[in-house]
């Protein structure tokens, strides 16, 4: 290889740690398409959580469902958007968990969405949540920030760096109790939720679009070729 281009500083560091390439991995973070601010739910409606992730074990839906189960006495709904065919057995396990918890009327498992339907899902959300065990970047976090949404996520892999400071709450991987507490904080404390949303809106202005990402990627390829 003439060079390696990674999606995050975390992944570049992992390339070095695993001795996959003798040189320095260049970093080009993914871009993000501009998006309107999410309008969220109407005043007085249950708070709406949104998770966008394929139903696979790495995405931690089991932990998220366990956390939501602990909040069954509160007013919320949750939309789980993402492909269900990557690991059908895991997707079925998630469906059974929802049914056992008696939360079918509050947790919506939508499968993969069209671009228009995904935009609508972000627009109607109040809080974005991701319980991933590991991410090499975490594109959906950036997509949520582009809509000014406060975020609750784990610190798995690159997520600790992907989430802008002050725009969300991070919890340890696999810790359903702490995840439930973080979600409960945003259910109970609208002022805290609004502060996180304000920080997300500030970070939104600093996001890089795809044309700029393309230019940076082209420069990285040229540098790899020059130093090969």
Q: For the chain, what are the domain ranges?
A: 5-31+209-226, 47-204
Average pLDDT of the chain to the nearest whole number: 95
Q: Of all residues in the chain, what percent are helix, strand and coil, respectively (each to 5)?
A: 45, 15, 40
The pLDDT assigned to 23 comes to 78
* 187-199: average pLDDT: 97
CB 154 within 8 A of CB 172: yes
Q: Which CATH superfamily is domain 47-204 in?
A: Glycogen Phosphorylase B; (3.40.50.2000)
CB 56 within 8 A of CB 87: yes
Q: pLDDT of 102-155, one tens digit each?
A: 999 999 999 999 999 999 999 999 999 999 999 999 999 999 999 999 999 999
Helix axes 88-100, 61-70, angle to 10 degrees: 10
pTM, entire model: 0.94
């Amino acid at each position: 290889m003439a060079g390696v281009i990674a999606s995050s500083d975390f992944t570049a560091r992992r390339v070095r740690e695993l001795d996959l390439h003798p040189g320095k991995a260049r970093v080009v973070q993914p871009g993000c398409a501009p998006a309107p601010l999410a309008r969220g739910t109407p005043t007085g409606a249950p708070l709406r959580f949104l998770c966008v992730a394929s139903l696979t074990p790495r995405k931690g839906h089991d932990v998220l469902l366990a956390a939501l189960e602990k909040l069954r006495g509160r007013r919320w709904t949750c939309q789980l958007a993402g492909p269900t065919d990557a690991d059908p057995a895991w997707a079925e396990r998630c469906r059974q968990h929802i049914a056992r918890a008696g939360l079918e009327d509050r947790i919506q498992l939508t499968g993969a969405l069209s671009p228009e339907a995904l935009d609508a899902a972000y627009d109607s959300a109040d809080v974005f949540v991701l319980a991933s065990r590991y991410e090499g970047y975490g594109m959906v976090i950036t997509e949520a920030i582009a809509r000014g949404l406060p975020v609750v996520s784990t610190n798995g892999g690159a997520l600790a760096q992907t989430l802008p400071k002050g725009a969300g709450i991070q919890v340890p991987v696999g810790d359903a109790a702490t995840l439930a507490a973080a979600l409960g904080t945003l259910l109970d404390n609208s002022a805290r939720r609004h502060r996180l949303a304000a920080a997300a809106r500030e970070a939104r202005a600093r996001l890089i679009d795809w044309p700029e990402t393309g230019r940076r990627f082209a420069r990285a390829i040229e540098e790899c070729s020059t130093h090969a």
